[in-house]
Every structure is written in C-alpha cells, then in structure tokens.
C-alpha cells in the first residue's frame, strides 16, 4: 500500500511539473486561445470546424460553461452572424474557421464588417508551420487574401505568441474606428505548450486611436453653427459606434437644427422626433435630399460622404460650408472638401460643443422639410403604405410591422429593394435597431445576421426583411435557427425577381429583364423541413393577421408574402444626378 501511495504521489508531482514552469501554468496554444477570449469577456463564438482548427474545437468542450459556440451551416453565415452580434450587443463579434476554403469563405463577411466599421475578431487555422508555402492540403495565404479588408491581420506560428497577439487583436478591433481583425494560427502552435499569462493590451506604439480633443476647431465650429441660417445635421454610423445618441439629441434640441441620417445612421435619432428630417441617399426621403442643396451649413457627424448619399459630387452642397466630425482622418476631404475638420470621437466632440452653441429655432427652415414630407406622402408614401387595390406592396408590409411593434423591434434586412423599403417605412425609436449591409451591399446577409442579432440581444424582437433572391443565398442557415431554436421572425418579400436589378432594368435598360426573373421553391415547405412554422400570404385580407401570428409566435416563424412583381422603390436619385434631382414618379 505504501509503495502504491508513493507511486501515485510521484505521478501527481510529475503531472504538476508538466503543467507549470516557475509557477506559471503550462497549457496548449488551443487552450490559451480560449482562455484569452474569456479574459476579453467573450461568451459567444460563431464558427465552423475543420482539420486545421480541430485542436481548438477539442478544447472548446472543456469550456462549454463559459463559451457558447454557434455552429452555422457555412462560414459566410458565421461571419455575418458575428457582425450582427457586434452591432446589437456593443461587444466584438468572434468567428472561427479552418484553413483553406474555410478561411476564404469568410472573406465576404470580413469585407462587409470592414466597410461598415464593425469590430469582429476572426480566428482562422493554418496548416503546420513547416508546410507553409508548399501548397499543402487546404493551405491558403489568408493574410494576403484578407489584407485589403481587415484593419489588421497576423499569423501565429508559436504558441507563446498567442496571448499577446489576441490581446493586440481585441485592442485594434475595438478602438478608434472599429473594424475586423484576423489572427491565423498554425496547427502546431495550437498543439504546442506555453507558459500562460494574459495581459490586456492598452497601448501600441505608432497606433494612436485616441486623439487629443481639437478644442480650437470645436470653438470655430460653434461660431459657424451660431451664425448659420439654414443648417442641417447629417448623422452617420459613427454616432451609434461612439454611443453618442443622447449627445446628438441634446445638440439638435439646443440648436434647433434638423437631423438627417444615413442608412447606417438610422436609429441614431428617433424618427418620431420633431427635428427628424429623414433618411438620406439614393432611395432616401425627399426633404433631406432636396434641401441638402439649400442648406448654408452642413454638420456631418460620424459619416463618410458615401456616393449613395452625395449623388453627383460636382453638384453636391456647393452652396454650403461643411463641418466634418470624424474619427478616421482618412475619410476627411476624401470625397467632399470641407471647411472645418474635427478629427475626434463624435461623443467627445458633441459633449464639448453643446455648451458652446446658442439655443435657437429655425421654424421657417423646418417648415420646408415638412412641406417636402407632404409632397412625398402624396406622391409616394400614401400609395405604398395604404394602397386601395392591387398586389401587396413592400412599404405596406413594413409599415404594418412598424405599427404592430411600436417601432421597437430590431430590424434586420438583406440587400436590395427590401433593404431600402425597410429603411424608409419602419419608424425607428430605439438606437442600434437596424442591422444591414451598408458599404458592401451583400445579398445573403439578412438570414445569418438575424441569428447574430437575436443572440446578441435576446430581449428584443428581431424581424428580418429578406428578398426571395437574397434568402436563397444563405437559406441553409435555417438549420442554425432550428438547432439553436433562435426565435427570429423572417419575412420574405417575394416578388419573383431580383428586385433592385429588375428596377434598374426597368428604368434604365428599356425593361430588358436579363437574368432577373426567379423560379422559386416553396419556402414554407422548406422551413417546415427545418421545423420552422410559416405561412404563405397572397392576399391583402390575410396580411395583418399573418403578421400578428408571426410576432406572437414563441419560436422562429416564416412568412412568404407575395408582393407586387414590378413595384419600384421611390423616390430615387438616379445615377449621375444631383441629390436635388429626385425622381418621385416613374411610369414604365
């Protein structure tokens, strides 16, 4: 017995010596990666396993109480879900994929997060370090492929480098103008042992995400604002990223200046507010587009003067002085030359600016926006949201959902007509309530993004508006919804076409509908195969009750709504036109 006890004690001592070195724990690189994520407050991972990343997935079983892994049906779905999770939760999204095709399948999702400034940490696996450069099985230079669409990327070949690299990745992804980062870890680094220590990163030489406040520029801005007669605020995604919704409202209410929003700036300012001027852009509201070219001062806050907002740059706001508040210096004077630049965080700038501006009202200026609203209502909105006859309209569906939810749902869209209609006709009242693909315009974004949005904010209703074309690009993610019982509400706006492309063919290509008509499957039957209930809606008389059924359902639910096959989204600033050259009526 004594001999057996001594033997057991020696074994325990030997095991302890193997797992510690000078009091520091010895663990594998895969284990270290997961511990690093936990240290950064991660609780949810979206991903898809494969050969090169198997050591990480094996270790995931040891952390099931701390890390929830969502197995999507495609890596692109994981990327979009991680982005949506970040957009509604305020935390960085996390996405895993294996080497080769697993990594390259992420690229569209990475580019999407990059153009929309969303912090996502992508972890990819790589073949063992000795095989790099040999065209080994499932080897791809993911650093080279992803470099143009990541804020930063790095390859790790030694386990001891994992903690510092992950800390750096989180710091870069979440500070300054946020964005996606990618860490590629070789398989041998995942298996190798290291002495584990973790320290969060708070400083990197040559990377300065926090710029000292430009107080003189802010004082100059206040003088310009106080002397303006027809000022207009253009609020973008930067307001939401910096959490400056309260400051924006206070600034607008004190100055009395109307607020227009970009697509990704939607929900940064309540659409029910008396100073809300509307949605900017190609399919935006009539007033803010028309009156941009009547303003004498434009205050651009956290937006980048995208081409969909400006229209023809040669005709854009040539009469106005422009103040640009933007955290990314590269965006200032890139598209539009400005009169005053403030290269700082939006929240900081507005907090400093509010005490310096005078309390004012611009009743006659605001009245011009209300006149435009009436014109748009009579010529576009009334027939789109309250049609007397004909097929169901997109705006009609979205307007009803807005009424039934009180404007308090998280709206996820795909890309195309469904996206523009949702932006136009849902009345957003709560910040971070629109999840959509802005800069990249990625069809197939909507379904996986709805999963990430619901997991990221389970307490809110999540409704996805998706076209029949985009839905079929990532339809396999119904399997993810089934497996994790994600209670998202899916509305397919089904017109049997690639709707936005068909609209352009209608308006600019003499109705030559080349490769845009779709023969669709039975979407409700497919959903039923994934244990997701649903129904088809063909008649207006069925619409309201079907939407109530959708919203009251406890689990996921799908509606396939047949809408006007040749309905167009108007108004429209046509390609090459000025923002004030708005098409309100179009007859094909």
DSSP string, 456-479: H-TTS-EEEEEEHHHHTTSGGGHH
How far is the C-alpha of 118 from the C-alpha of 126, rounded, in Å? 24
Q: 495: which residues sit within 8 A by CB, 6+ positions away?
A: 417, 467, 468, 562, 563, 564, 565, 566, 567
Which strands make up the sheet holding 24-28, listed edge to edge?
20-21, 24-28, 193-195
Q: How confident is the model at residue 67 (pLDDT cuts 50, 70, 90)?
A: very high
What confidence score (pLDDT) does residue 587 get? 73
pLDDT > 70? residue 4: no
What confidence score (pLDDT) does residue 16 get? 41
**Residue 439, CB-side half-sphere exposure with 13 Å CA sphere:** 19
- Select from 306, 558, 538, 569 the least CA-distant residue to 418: 569
Q: Using CA atoms in the order 508, 514, 519, 520, what is the torsion angle rounded to 10 degrees?
A: -50
**How do strand 410-413 and strand 434-435 relate by DSSP bridges?**
parallel
- Distance set, CA 289 to CA 159, 364, 384, 428, 579 (Å): 54, 18, 20, 19, 5
Q: How confident is the model at residue 280 (pLDDT cuts 50, 70, 90)?
A: very high
**How do strand 193-195 and strand 24-28 relate by DSSP bridges?**
antiparallel
Tokens for 475, please give them.
């339809």
How far is the C-alpha of 17 from the C-alpha of 5, rounded, in Å? 18
- The one-character DSSP state at 515 is S
Q: How confident is the model at residue 588 (pLDDT cuts 50, 70, 90)?
A: low
Write out pLDDT tens, residues 350-362: 999 999 999 999 9
Q: What is the CA radius of gyration of the chain?
A: 26
Exactly one of 21, 137, 508, 509 is catalytic; which is it? Answer: 137
Mean pLDDT (whole number) for 522-543: 98
- Select from 561, 559, 541 the least CA-distant residue to 550: 559
For 80, the 3-state DSSP assignment is helix
- Select from 430, 434, 429 the least CA-distant residue to 450: 434
Mean pLDDT (whole number) for 70-79: 98
Write out pLDDT tens, residues 307-327: 999 999 999 999 999 999 999
pLDDT > 60? residue 452: yes
Length of the chain (residues): 588
pLDDT > 80? residue 20: no
Exactly one of 500, 503, 505, 523 is catalytic; which is it? Answer: 500
Q: Using CA atoms in the order 445, 573, 427, 410, what is the torsion angle rounded to 10 degrees?
A: 10
Cis omega (within 30 of 0) on the bond before 49? no
What is this structure's pTM? Answer: 0.94
Q: 365: which residues sit within 8 A by CB, 6+ positions away?
A: 229, 230, 231, 258
CA angle 225, 228, 229 (to 5 degrees): 145
Known catalytic membership, residue 505: no
- Distance set, CA 416 to CA 6, 460, 519 (Å): 72, 25, 18
- Say if CB 81 and CB 55 are below 8 A apart: no
Strand pairing partners for 453? none
Q: Which of 203-212, 241-250, 394-403, 476-485 has the lowest mean pLDDT?
A: 203-212
Q: 157: which residues sit within 8 A by CB, 6+ positions away?
A: 129, 132, 186, 188, 189
Known catalytic membership, residue 75: yes
- Say if CB 178 and CB 241 are below 8 A apart: yes
Q: How confident is the model at residue 23 (pLDDT cuts 50, 70, 90)?
A: low
- Select from 179, 248, 175 the least CA-distant residue to 431: 248
Q: How confident is the model at residue 25 (pLDDT cuts 50, 70, 90)?
A: confident
Average pLDDT, the chain: 95
Name the percent of the chain lying above pLDDT 70: 96
For 517, the 3-state DSSP assignment is strand
Strand pairing partners for 121? 94, 181
- Say if CB 124 and CB 185 are below 8 A apart: yes
pLDDT > 60? residue 7: no
Show the 3-state SS of 112-168: HHHHCCCCEEEEEEECCHHHCCCCCCCCCCHHHHHHHHCCEEEEECCHHHHHHHHHH
Known catalytic membership, residue 138: yes
Q: 467: which residues sit within 8 A by CB, 6+ positions away?
A: 414, 415, 416, 417, 418, 443, 492, 493, 494, 495, 498, 499
Exactly one of 46, 59, 75, 477 is catalytic; which is it? Answer: 75
How far is the C-alpha of 340 from the C-alpha of 16, rounded, in Å? 63
- Select from 71, 72, 70, 114 the least CA-distant residue to 458: 70
pLDDT > 60? residue 21: no
């Amino acid at each position: 017995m004594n001999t057996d006890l001594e033997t057991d004690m020696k074994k325990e001592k030997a095991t302890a010596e193997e797992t510690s070195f000078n009091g520091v724990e010895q663990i594998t690189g895969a284990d270290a990666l997961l511990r690093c994520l936990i240290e950064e407050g991660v609780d949810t991972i979206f991903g898809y396993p494969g050969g090169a990343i198997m050591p990480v997935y094996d270790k995931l079983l040891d952390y099931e109480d701390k890390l929830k892994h969502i197995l999507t049906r495609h890596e692109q779905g994981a990327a979009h879900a991680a982005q949506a999770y970040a957009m509604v939760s305020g935390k960085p999204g996390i996405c895993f994929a294996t080497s080769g095709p697993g990594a390259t399948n992420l690229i569209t999702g990475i580019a999407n997060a990059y153009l929309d400034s969303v912090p996502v940490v992508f972890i990819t696996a790589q073949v063992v370090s000795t095989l790099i450069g040999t065209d080994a099985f499932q080897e791809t230079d993911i650093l080279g492929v992803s470099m143009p669409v990541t804020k930063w990327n790095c390859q790790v070949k030694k386990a001891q480098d994992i903690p510092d690299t992950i800390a750096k990745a989180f710091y870069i992804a979440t500070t300054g103008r946020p964005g996606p980062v990618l860490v590629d870890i070789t398989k041998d680094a995942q298996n190798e042992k290291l002495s584990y220590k973790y320290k969060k990163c708070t400083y990197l030489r040559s990377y300065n995400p926090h710029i000292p406040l430009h107080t003189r520029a802010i004082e100059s801005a206040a003088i310009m604002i106080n002397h303006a007669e027809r000022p207009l605020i253009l609020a973008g995604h930067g307001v939401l990223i910096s959490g400056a919704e309260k400051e924006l409202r206070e600034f607008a209410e004190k100055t009395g200046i109307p607020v227009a929003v970009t697509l990704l700036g939607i929900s940064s300012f309540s659409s029910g507010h008396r100073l809300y001027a509307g949605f900017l852009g190609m399919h935006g509201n009539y007033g803010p587009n028309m009156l941009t070219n009547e303003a004498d001062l434009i205050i651009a806050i956290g937006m980048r003067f995208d081409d969909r907002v400006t229209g023809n740059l040669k005709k854009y706001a040539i009469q106005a002085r422009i103040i640009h508040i933007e955290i990314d210096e590269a965006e200032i004077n890139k598209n539009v030359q400005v009169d005053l630049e403030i290269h700082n965080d939006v929240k900081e700038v507005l907090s400093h600016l509010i005490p310096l501006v005078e309390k004012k009202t611009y009743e006659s200026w605001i009245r011009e926006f209300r006149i435009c609203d009436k014109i748009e209502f009579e010529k576009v909105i009334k027939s789109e949201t309250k049609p007397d006859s004909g097929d169901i309209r997109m705006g009609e569906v979205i307007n009803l959902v807005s009424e039934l939810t009180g404007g308090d749902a998280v709206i996820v869209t795909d890309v195309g007509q469904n996206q523009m209609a949702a932006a136009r006709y849902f009345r957003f009242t709560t910040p971070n309530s629109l999840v959509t693909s802005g800069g990249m315009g990625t069809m197939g974004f909507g379904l996986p993004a709805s999963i990430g949005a619901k997991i990221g904010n389970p307490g809110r209703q999540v409704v996805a508006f998706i076209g029949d074309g985009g839905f079929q690009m990532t339809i396999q993610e119904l399997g993810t919804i089934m497996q994790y019982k994600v209670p998202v509400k899916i509305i397919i706006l089904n017109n049997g076409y690639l709707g936005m492309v068909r609209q352009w063919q209608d308006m600019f290509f003499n109705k030559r509908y080349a490769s845009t008509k779709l023969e669709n499957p039975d979407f409700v039957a497919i959903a039923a195969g994934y244990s997701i209930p649903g129904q088809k809606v063909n008649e207006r008389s069925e619409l309201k009750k079907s939407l109530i059924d959708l919203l009251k359902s406890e689990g996921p639910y799908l509606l396939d709504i047949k809408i006007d096959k040749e309905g167009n989204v108007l108004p429209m600033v046509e390609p090459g036109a000025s923002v004030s050259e708005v098409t309100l009526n179009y007859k094909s």
